[in-house]
Amino acid sequence: MNLDDLTDLATQAGHIINDTDRESHEKSDGTPVTQADLSASKKIRETLLDETPYTYVDEEHGVTSRGTQKWWLVDPLDGTKDFMRGTTEYTVNIALIDGETPVIGVVHVPATKTTYAATDNSAWRDNEEITVENVAVEDAVVAVSKSHPDDDLDAFLQELPVAGRRGIGSSLKGCRVADNTVNLYPRMQSLHGWDVAAMHAVINGAGAVMQNWEGDQVTYSYDNKNVDPFVAGHPRLVSDVLDRAHD
């Protein structure tokens, strides 16, 4: 299955989401799930298990192990709260992980029909190649979550002389870094891997980095669903921010 096939699959899942009502119920962990999550998950899971030999992991089904080095990591509907509110900032996230590193990623935005796609050395937004640009910290616009306040991050940003902040939903925060809509995406709370792996591939493909607060690359494991808090942006900008964080 090539990148075009994955883009088509994410688009099909997006159509399913848009054609499904927004009624939800709570999962055992207290987070909401909708029929759209479940229907999109079914489509993606069945297709990838039928057409590829790889282990499959997603938010709704957990791990379907095949003992492979490469494995799929999927969030069929990232930004469920945004979807339920009727905003446009929810996504379909599909990533292929090689060992611990995302090497292919697709992030599809069903509401706007925008698609980000990436291999390990290139990234595109709607078939137009995107490359991250460096800016000084003082000129940086920072992506922050609209749904998950973070007091520690807020305190850090109060001391960081950035140009401004922009609230963005779902994995779009990282994609907006890749296409230079914003410049920096810092996160001080842990996230699930399926929330960010496809976005991470887009970030890498655009020439940006996504590093934990110790300066190491964020990695993934299907035995541990969480990933480290991180900073994403142009390599020089991330290095500068991490230096200031450790002063």
- What distance separates the 2 farthest-apart alpha carbons in the chain? 51
Residue given tokens 């910290």 in the structure block: 137
pLDDT at 30: 66
Two tokens at 123? 């990234």
pLDDT at 32: 78
Q: Are 196 and 172 in contact (CB under 8 A)?
A: no
Number of other residues whose CB lies within 10 A of the CB of residue 17: 25
Two tokens at 147? 């749904």
Mean pLDDT, contiguous 10-residue spans, the chain (247 residues): 96 96 73 88 97 94 94 95 91 98 98 96 97 98 91 95 96 98 96 97 98 98 92 98 94
pLDDT at 4: 96
* 185 membership: H or E segment, kind and range: strand 184-187
Single out the residue of 181, 240, 99 nearest to residue 231, CA to CA. 240
Q: Are 137 and 32 in contact (CB under 8 A)?
A: no
Residue given tokens 């999109």 in the structure block: 40
DSSP string, 187-236: E-S-EEHHHHHHHHHHHHHTT-EEEETTSPBP--BTTB-EE--EEEE-HH
* pTM for the predicted model, two decimal places: 0.96
Single out the residue of 6, 10, 212, 197 nearest to residue 99, CA to CA. 197
The H helix count followed by the E strand count for the chain is 7, 17
Two tokens at 115? 């698609």
